[in-house]
Amino acid sequence: MERVKTGIPGLDEIMNGGVPKGQLVLLSGTCGTGKTTICGQYVYQGLTKFGENGIFLSFEDMPDNVKKNLKRFGWDFEPFEKQNRFDFVRYDPYHIEEVFDILESNVREIKARRIVIDSVSALGLHVRDKAELRRMIFNLSNLLRKLDCTVIMVSEIVPGSAGISRYGVEEFVTDSVVVLYYERNEFTFTRAMQVWKMSGSDHSKKLHPYKITNKGIVVQPGEEAFMRRK
């Protein structure tokens, strides 16, 4: 099985070598768990280490804001934008059907191999009907599969909820799922992640601690985190 290395220290190890090429990965977690950082790191590593072009699609945050935050980790996307190897697409989720065409032509133009979507949770702000929303996420995932890229799709979990995604549908339309946790252990907060599922491949089943450092995310593949389960 061909793998796409995220280039995120430790993450490829717990994914048995990386994301299976062409897969759609759900990355979910509560706020502040590092979802946007992982997205930026994945695309930046693609550009700088693996010669893979990328697209960052945002339904909420403004490009300048996200780019400014990611630059603090030392990831400057601007030169790659100028070379037409990277594009930051901010799209209003109000006209979601149009984003399909835009994304498709962007992928073609940039020759993107990596796409990140941050995040599908924002779609719910514009679409109240649950069935409609699920259909939308389903359509989006179908489109992404056709684009022949390896994709990370973010979903934000509401704190305290028992689910692993916002709308309870994202984990069924994606091939792999990585869940990020941020929980209190008596006196300290622990960050940990787990590969929840991975289509057609083995992976670590453990809960692994990770850190957000000034150089980005670092996962500890040899360590196991212990958390109070709800």
Residues at the contact surface with ligand ATP, assessed by CB under 6 A: 29, 31-37, 72-73, 156, 212-214
212: partner contacted, choices Mg ion, ligand ATP, none (Cβ within 5-8 A by kind):
ligand ATP
Of the pair 179, 203, the CB lying nearest Mg ion is at 179
CB 185 within 8 A of CB 142: no
Of the pair 20, 42, the CB lying nearest ligand ATP is at 42
Of the pair 20, 29, the CB lying nearest ligand ATP is at 29
Q: Which of 36, 6, 40 is closest to 23 using CA atoms?
A: 6
Smallest distance from the beta carbon of 40 to ligand ATP, in angstroms? 8
Q: Which of 153, 53, 152 is closest to 112 using CA atoms?
A: 53
Residue ranges that bind Mg ion, judged by CB under 5 A:
35-36
- The residue with its CB nearest to Mg ion is 36
72: partner contacted, choices Mg ion, ligand ATP, none (Cβ within 5-8 A by kind):
ligand ATP
CB 72 within 8 A of CB 41: no
Tokens 């719910």 correspond to 124
Tokens representing 185 are 């252990």
Smallest distance from the beta carbon of 72 to ligand ATP, in angstroms? 5
Of the pair 28, 194, the CB lying nearest Mg ion is at 28
Smallest distance from the beta carbon of 118 to Mg ion, in angstroms? 6
32: partner contacted, choices ligand ATP, Mg ion, none (Cβ within 5-8 A by kind):
ligand ATP
Smallest distance from the beta carbon of 189 to ligand ATP, in angstroms? 10
Smallest distance from the beta carbon of 27 to ligand ATP, in angstroms? 9
Q: Which of 47, 168, 165 is closest to 115 using CA atoms?
A: 47
188: partner contacted, choices Mg ion, ligand ATP, none (Cβ within 5-8 A by kind):
none
Let me know how many helices (H) and strands (E) the chain has, helices first. Answer: 7, 11
Contacting residues for 211 by C-beta, under 8 A, at least 6 apart? 191, 217, 218, 220
Per the DSSP assignment, residues forming a β-bridge with 145 are none
CB 21 within 8 A of CB 4: yes
